[in-house]
Amino acid sequence: MTSVVDSRLTEDGRAIRRRRECDKCHHRFTTFERQELASMIVVKRDGTREPYSRSKLERGVWIACTKRPITQKDIDDMLNKLEEKWSANKEEVASTTIGKDVMTALKKLDEVAYIRFASVHREFKDVEEFKEELGRLFH
């Protein structure tokens, strides 16, 4: 069992941060409670549907951000804003929309992370297509 020591709103009221304490060993730790977007369905390119998974998307974003000066807060803020956009009056969102929106947000956050994410999402056919994208980014 644990006891809540302190609670406060974070992320502009989108999450609750709680400090908890173990009743037996008195170890303290922090938990975050966020609204679950389990009802949102992602429509894949092949037409199949699956429940939205923030952790799956966050893993992909972190792979693109490896060894870049990006914090967990940067990623959380970005995903929170995008999730609000996707869930506004919608039950379904296309995976292509998610990919494009993440690329746009990453481009503002870190150009290297953007290129890494785009290289997977856009499925470049060859090196020339990749070079063209780099040229558009830096010119």
- What burial letters (b/e) apply to 113-136, b meaning 16+ CB within 10 Å? bbbbbbeebeeeeeeeeeeeeeee
- Map residue 93 onto helix, strand or coil: strand
Would you say residue 37 has pLDDT above 70?
no
Q: Token digits for 17?
A: 């941060």
Q: Where are the domains of the chain?
A: 1-34, 37-138
Which of 9-13, 85-89, 100-104, 135-139 tops mean pLDDT? 100-104
CB 8 within 8 A of CB 17: yes
Mean pLDDT over each residue of the chain, to the nearest integer: 87
